[in-house]
């Protein structure tokens, strides 16, 4: 027995002895060996040095990317940083903030992908991406992060003040986008500057690419939508995320669609190319505020989705459940009132146009939503309606800020007005909306 234990300890120590650390720094040089004293200059070079199980630490400061640093040109894309080696973690060095500035990367007539992740089991944490450009004047898009691998985690990233989508999943399973922010992104170049493809976050994966999750993320002042699931062939989970002021520039000039959570739809995809079955997406404990169009939007989807404990405030339409009729000839392109949705414990207040739109209530499952109950909702139901709290600093672990905004006043009859649907709660019953009150 003792010999077996010694053998196990030896094998375990051998395993960890092969894990290495490499360092990237703004003052690094790609001819260096990547130690903390001799860091390299680019993540591309660090990946060449590293192996699965290794960690690349990225020192703080500004990295001003240049076109000669583009890792690969492929058809219509320019992949600036290409992460295609499995099992490597890329982490901001402790208490430091690396900022990658892409404003000088403008390859003519190419889509810029700042970070292209085609590998698996990769973690990227704690960096900022800014200034990603668009150079094409007709229909196009650029991306801060595009994922085509599986089991990857993007955590505590900030993607801002550029022209690109924040995170764009087009392939892969079990990807987690955790506690990330995408904000102030507007494509002012293509299609007369409308900004119609600049979402905060999107998942558009094909059949078989399952279990992709957005959790604890915020999207604001993106010129198109906050979160977009159009053309996804598998269910996506959006959990505890916030979307606000999308569809506007920072001075509230109107731009493109402007939905907080656009959760489905296939546009003009031919009938024979539609996924079978059509997925049901799940949006839970999310917050939508002040978006140009809808807070929560089904987007002509060909199935219902699950909407649990969400809060919508001051959107043009707080909840818009618009569907299409059926996966049948002709009907797959015909809009109809929403059907097969499951809505439970949702809360809305102060829509500038309509609280609830495009829903066939008799064809949906509705449980204890604010529009089902005989409740009068006023500003006094909330501790605060101060929207400046939306951009408050995150907590030390990267989770969303704890503020009083849209949290329920202890005297509100919205407390305990929900129904138990399997999530933890305090008191006799769940509260309505995305914030459970202390009781």
Considering the domain boundaries, does residue 206 fall inside one? no
Domain termination site, one of 136, 164, 198: 198
Largest CA distance in the chain: 74
Tens digits of per-residue pLDDT, 218-276? 999 999 999 999 999 999 999 999 999 999 999 999 999 999 999 999 999 999 999 99
Same domain, 308 and 194: no
Report angle CA 36, 39, 42 to the nearest 5 degrees: 140
Residue 18 confidence (pLDDT): 77
How far is 119 from 426, CA to CA, in rounded Å?
41
Q: Mean pLDDT, the chain, as a whole number?
A: 96
Which is nearest to 389 in space by CA: 414, 406, 408, 412?
Answer: 406
**Which positions are annotated as active-site residues?**
262
Same domain, 315 and 168: no
Q: Taking 80 as the threshold, does the pLDDT of residue 14 lie above it?
A: no
Query: Which DSSP category does 397 fall into?
Result: T
Print the domain residue range for 140: 23-198
Same domain, 305 and 194: no
pTM, full prediction:
0.96
Considering the domain boundaries, does residue 248 fall inside one? yes
Same domain, 283 and 432: yes
Considering the domain boundaries, does residue 205 fall inside one? no
Helix (H, G, I), strand (E, B) or coil at 61: strand
Q: Over range 210-218, report the average pLDDT.
A: 99
Same domain, 278 and 235: yes
Same domain, 106 and 54: yes
Same domain, 150 and 238: no
Tens digits of per-residue pLDDT, 29-74? 999 999 999 999 999 999 999 999 999 999 999 999 999 999 999 9
Helix (H, G, I), strand (E, B) or coil at 36: coil
Q: Across the chain, how many H-helices and E-strands are there? A: 2, 35
Report angle CA 253, 259, 265 to the nearest 5 degrees: 140
Q: Indicate the number of domains in the chain.
A: 2
Report angle CA 86, 90, 96 to the nearest 5 degrees: 175
pLDDT band of residue 439 (cuts 50, 70, 90) is confident
Same domain, 186 and 334: no
CATH of residue 389's domain is 2.160.20.10
Same domain, 168 and 36: yes
Same domain, 402 and 338: yes
Same domain, 312 and 358: yes
- Tokens, residue 351: 């829509």
């Amino acid at each position: 027995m003792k010999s077996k234990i010694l053998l196990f300890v030896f094998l375990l120590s051998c395993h960890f002895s092969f894990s290495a650390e490499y360092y990237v720094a703004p003052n690094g040089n790609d001819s260096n060996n990547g130690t903390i004293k001799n860091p390299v200059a680019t993540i591309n070079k660090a990946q060449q040095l590293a192996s699965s199980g290794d960690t690349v630490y990225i020192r703080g400061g500004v990295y001003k990317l240049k076109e000669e640093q583009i890792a690969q040109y492929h058809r219509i894309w320019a992949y600036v940083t290409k992460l295609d080696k499995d099992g490597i973690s890329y982490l901001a060095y402790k208490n430091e903030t690396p900022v990658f500035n892409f404003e000088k990367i403008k390859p003519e007539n190419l889509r810029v992908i700042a970070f292209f992740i085609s590998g698996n089991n990769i973690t990227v944490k704690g960096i900022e991406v800014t200034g990603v450009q668009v150079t094409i004047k007709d229909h196009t898009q650029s991306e801060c992060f595009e994922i085509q691998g599986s089991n990857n985690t993007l955590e505590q990233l900030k993607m801002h003040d550029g022209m690109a989508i924040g995170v764009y999943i087009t392939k892969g399973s079990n990807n987690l986008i955790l506690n990330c922010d995408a904000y102030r992104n507007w494509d002012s170049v293509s299609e007369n500057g409308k900004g119609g493809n600049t979402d905060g976050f999107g998942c558009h994966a094909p059949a078989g690419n399952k279990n992709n999750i957005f959790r604890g993320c915020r999207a604001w002042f993106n010129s198109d939508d906050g979160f977009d699931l159009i053309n996804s062939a598998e269910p996506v989970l959006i959990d505890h995320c916030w979307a606000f002021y999308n569809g506007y520039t920072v001075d509230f000039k109107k731009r493109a669609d402007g939905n907080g959570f656009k959760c489905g739809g296939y546009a003009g995809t031919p009938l024979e190319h539609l996924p079978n079955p059509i997925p049901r997406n799940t949006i839970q404990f999310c917050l939508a505020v002040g978006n140009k169009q809808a807070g929560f939007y089904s987007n002509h989807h060909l199935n219902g989705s699950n909407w649990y404990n969400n809060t919508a405030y001051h959107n043009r339409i707080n909840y818009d459940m618009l569907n299409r009729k059926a996966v049948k000839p002709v009907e797959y392109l015909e809009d109809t009132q929403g059907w097969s949705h499951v809505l439970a414990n949702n809360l809305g207040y102060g829509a500038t146009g309509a609280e609830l739109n495009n829903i066939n209530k008799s064809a949906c499952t509705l449980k204890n939503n604010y529009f089902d109950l005989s409740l009068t909702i006023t500003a006094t139901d909330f501790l605060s309606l101060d929207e400046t709290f939306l951009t408050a600093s995150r907590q030390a672990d990267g989770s969303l800020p704890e503020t009083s905004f849209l949290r329920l006043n202890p005297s509100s009859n919205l407390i305990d007005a929900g129904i138990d649907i399997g999530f933890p709660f305090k008191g006799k019953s769940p509260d309505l909306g995305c914030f459970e009150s202390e009781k």
